[in-house]
Amino acid sequence: MSYKIVGDSCTALPESMNKNEHVSVVPLLLQVGKETVVDDESFCQGSFLKLMKECSECPKSSCPSPEAYMDAFEGADEVFVVTLSSHLSGSYNSAELAKMLYLEKHPNKKIAVIDSQSAAAGQTLIAMRLLQEKEAGASFEETVERAMKFRDVMKTKFVLENLDNLKKNGRLSNITAALCSVLNIKPVMCGVEGVIEKLDQARGMTKALMKMVKYIEEDVIDAKNRIFAITHCNCRERAEFVRDMVMGRVPFRDSVIVEAAGVSSMYANDGGIVVAY
């Protein structure tokens, strides 16, 4: 049976998956001041980061419409959708509505919508797992069950260079942001069932990344059968530094580095690192 893996545009895909006929991405819309940016193949990260830096308002995103999702469902008997954490975006709810509406007209189709409870690199890993299962010949039901089990033990962590967006959207007080800036304090954050929580902090980016690596060593499960994924925002060398540190200490089966697209760039901001495993 024909199948499709559909991600919203926070799903950072490696080049091999970008070219795969079974994989497609539905774009979110990004709003920075009066400017609207479509998070698709036309997205220019450099221009977008400059736009955010120059704008005093908090950037916002609009999830894909149900109609956009339904268009992406066409041409396949089985559809697997991977969305941003439902705690961060309405993308999951929009995809669920699209599924309901689409199945009313196409009751013989099979559609699964997976809340990644993560973002960026976490969505990457779930999409990769779905593709792996289908290429191995797994049924629709087997694929969904295994992807959900994978999701439930997956870990997400991140370190941000720039806290401007957290300050602008009220997740960080102006005083705290100012102190972090003056003292060069970088928080180490994690995702817990899709909700962002602070794990630790350190003075300076390198020390914060090293602390993150320490936590990865401590909480990784079954590393030899897992892939370590990194999404970076305009900092490839930093991503490679993290990869080399982690792969030298933890026996992951493989690693993958992907560049942040629009939504990931908005959340991570310039210099941000998001990892999942």
CATH classification of the domain holding 255:
3.30.1180.10
- 168-190: burial string, b at 16+ Cβ within 10 Å, e else: beeebeeeebeebeeeebbbbbb
**Co-location of 21 and 92 in the same domain:** yes
- pLDDT tens, position by position, 9-18: 999 899 889 9
My answer on whether 176 and 239 are in the same domain is: yes
Q: Where are the alpha helices (DSSP H) in the chain?
A: 15-18, 45-54, 66-73, 91-105, 121-135, 140-153, 164-168, 174-183, 205-219, 236-249, 262-268
Mean pLDDT along residues 203-218: 97
* Co-location of 145 and 161 in the same domain: no
Same domain, yes or no: 180 and 146: no
Do 93 and 213 share a domain, yes or no? no
Same domain for 177 and 111, yes or no, is: no
Confidence of residue 58 (pLDDT cuts 50, 70, 90): confident
If one counts every other C-beta atom within 10 angstroms of the C-beta of residue 42, the result is: 9
Which residues fall within 8 angstroms of residue 124, CB to CB, at 6 or more apart?
11, 12, 13, 14, 229, 231, 256, 258, 276
Domain final residue, candidates 96, 121, 153: 153
Asked if 9 and 72 count as a contact pair (C-beta separation under 8 A), the reply is no
| CATH number of the domain to which 135 belongs | 3.40.50.10170
Residues 202 and 188 in one domain: yes
Dihedral over Cα of 7, 12, 13, 18: its sign: positive
Q: Tell me: do 125 and 23 sit in the same domain.
A: yes
Residue 207 shares a structural domain with residue 70: no
What whole-number distance in Å separates Cα of residue 205 and Cα of residue 208?
5
Domain's final residue, options 153, 183, 215? 153
What pLDDT is attached to residue 198? 85
Same structural domain, 27 and 162: no
Could you tell me which of 224, 228, 239, 243 has the C-alpha nearest to residue 277? 228
pLDDT over 70 percentage in the chain = 92
pLDDT band (50, 70, 90) for residue 175: very low
Dist CA 116 CA 113 (whole Å):
9
Q: Could you list the residue range(s) of the whole structural domain that residue 115 is in?
A: 3-153
- 3-12, 149-158, 195-204, 235-244: which has the minimum mean pLDDT? 195-204
Check residue 162 and give its pLDDT: 78
pLDDT score at 181:
61
Predicted confidence band of residue 178 (pLDDT cuts 50, 70, 90):
low
pLDDT at 50: 95
My answer on whether 107 and 167 are in the same domain is no
Q: In the chain, how many domains are there?
A: 2
Q: Per-residue pLDDT tens for 29-46?
A: 999 999 999 999 999 999
Which of 108, 137, 153 marks a domain boundary? Answer: 153
Region of residue 98 (left: phi > 0; alpha: psi -120 to 50; beta: else): alpha
Q: Say whether both 129 and 171 belong to one domain.
A: no
Report the pLDDT value the prediction gives residue 185, as an integer from 0 to 100. 85
What percentage of the chain carries pLDDT values higher than 90? 83
Burial of 253 (C-beta count, 10 Å sphere; 0-12/13-18/19+): exposed
232/83 Cα distance (integer angstroms):
19
